[in-house]
Structure formats: C-alpha cells, structure tokens
Structure 1
C-alpha cells in the first residue's frame, strides 16, 4: 500500500504517525499530493476535481519557486522512482512551460540558391559581374537564400513524444485542460529511434543552432532523455 511504499523510500519509518513531507508522490499510476500540515482537509474534500488540481498546481508551483530561490536553497534531490525531486520538478515544469508558450521544436535551415529567394548582396557582389547602368550596377544574376522551417523533423517527433509522456500524468501541473496536449500532439508522429540514438541526434543538432531558446530546449530534452534512459 501507499504507507509501505513511503516507508520503503524513507519518507516515514514504521512507528511514524505523521508524515513530514509536502509535495507529490506517484504510486501505482496515481498522483498523491501531500499538503502543508495546517491545511483544511475537510474543506479540501468538498472541492471539485478541477479545484483540487488547481490547488495542487499552485502547491507544486510554490515548491518550485521556493527551490529556485538561492536564499532558500535546500537539499531535495530525487529520492527515487515515484518521487519528483527538485531537479526533476524543475526540468518537467520547464519542458511543459516551454511547450505551452512556443509549441514543438521547429527546425530552421537555409540553403543557397541562384536567381531566386532573398538576395545575398555580399555574395552576389563578390561572385557576379554587374552590367553598367546609368544610376547603379545592374545584376542580371544573383545569389539568394531560401529559408525552410520543418515542423515534422526527427527532433520535433522526439520532443512530441516527451511532452506526450509527461503530460499524461503531469500535464495538469502547468495547464488546467488535460485534453489540450493530446489534441495538439495528435498531428505529429513519434520518433522510432532508440533513446541512445535520440540523445545522439539531439547533440548533433545542438552543433548547428544558435537560438538561445532552441539551445536551452534541446539541452533540456537531452537531459530528460538521459535521466529517463540511465545513459
């Protein structure tokens, strides 16, 4: 039962009557929220599921903010499977918040083309001979740049799989409507690569991007995969 599970994790000992713990525990696929000691449980029991989720979301957000404060720095490492420690909580909330704000990862690329696309004047001036003109040089040929945005790259599929897995159990931490994630993620497939190859793919992508947001996101995805796979 839950008590035996908490005892096995060292949260309580055999003779304990009270649990000195505030936070979230997952046991047999269900979340158990432990509220602060002076909470009015009788009032809490009367709330709807949506109201209970809102309170739980605010509690976990408060714990997250407390842990992020340097002056309140505490040692709260992950205690094992079933527990969300400081580091894992930060990572999960970060991934969900980023997805809610920016959506799935989009791969952006550029390629060189001729006589089409946006003109690259520096390359054109150095590579092509202009024709005389009354007012300015006239270039009949030019080098251009074609920009492409991929919404279904392998990285996007990896990202979608992670958000889907997290949101099934923990999506309510940052978004009150559970069906939101499923409806958004249904349009993209999932990566069929092994977790080891997924990590290698992410690290290879990191060498080609410069956006701070993309770098932070891919490092977070890689971190999640490494924790999840044990690599």
Structure 2
C-alpha cells in the first residue's frame, strides 16, 4: 500500500467499526426489551375492573325473588327482591332495564315477598310495592306517565295488612290507592272489622267503604274491585 492510499484505508476501517458498534447496540436493545417483556408479563396485561353491588340481573344479595314482569302502560315492570326480602329494586322495562327505582319501605322494616308488586294502568299508571311489617303493611307507590317513572315520597300504611292500586273513579288523574284499616281504637285490633280508605296519588282522601268482618269479606278479594259508588264519608 502506498503512502497516498493510507488515509482512505483508515476511513474505511473507522466506518466498518462504527457500523459494527451500532449493530451491537441495536441488538442489545432488542434483547433487553424481549427479556423485560417475558420477565414481567403484568406490565403488558390489562386487569379487568372489579364490580360490586347490584349485578346485571338486578340482584344484590342472592337468592333473589323476581316478581313480574307486569305489563303496564305500554311497558313492563318487575320487582327484584333480595334474599330475605330486606331490600329490592323496581325495574322499569323488565330485566336489564335502564330505569331502576330503589325500594325504600324496607328501610322502615317492611319485608318483600312474592305478592309485593301490583299495578294498575291508565292515562297515568301506578304500581305499589308492598311489604309486611309487624304493624300491618307498608306500600310504596311508583307512578309512570309518558315513559317517565318516579316513586312517591311517602308510603301508605295499613294496620289491616292490605295496600293496592286500582282505578276506582275512572278519573284522568290515574289509579287510586286502596288502604285497609281496622275499625278499632285499641292496641289489639285483631278480629275487629276492617274498611278500605281510597286516596288519590296526591294522598287526598276520596272516602271509605263500609265495614267488613274480615279482609277476605271485601268484594272480589284478593283482587279487590271497588267502585266510586261504594265510597262514603270516613267519619
């Protein structure tokens, strides 16, 4: 090799060395990445979110009792009562419904059962969720109109153990609420006559029936069917 060719040889040698070094660095980086991926799989795994509380079927504490669905006002309504009937939810539209109303009477000691849901249709529809208590029965009223449903703030209480909704008067304001009471003013009223007081959905009294010896003496019991003509002053 001549004196004039030596600089070019040096340049070529330096370039080759640089390429070899770069290749080694790239290879080392790839190997480090692969080792990290295989050694720590958690870093590349998506952990599914955890959920708690009410399940997709509306059940909170199993086994649940589903009451309904009841077709009413162009939709369906059903009640999901949790184990023991100590809590529940009203599903508007049946199972998997987007509109869910919590049952609040259970917080007052009411216990839900297989007959807890009863509905009546009309221009304004209404359902009652009723539960037994040591003092009789509590009824929570859920009202629907034009696809919008809501629960009335205050429940209705019956010391005789019967609350229902029925279109008694045929008015456009919707069904009425039927509440049975004992004709009694003493602590122990078992065996005393009963009567039914009828309320509007606004809790205004429309009157009372005559006295009956027992609940099952009310016309058409257990599906009570009253008319406005059966009502009189409650005094």
**Alignment TM-score, normalising by the size of structure 1:** 0.19
Which structure dedicates a bigger proportion of its chain to helix?
A: 1
Structure number with the bigger relative contact order (C-alpha 8 A, sep ≥ 6) is 1
The structure whose Rg is larger is 2
Which structure dedicates a bigger proportion of its chain to strand?
A: 2
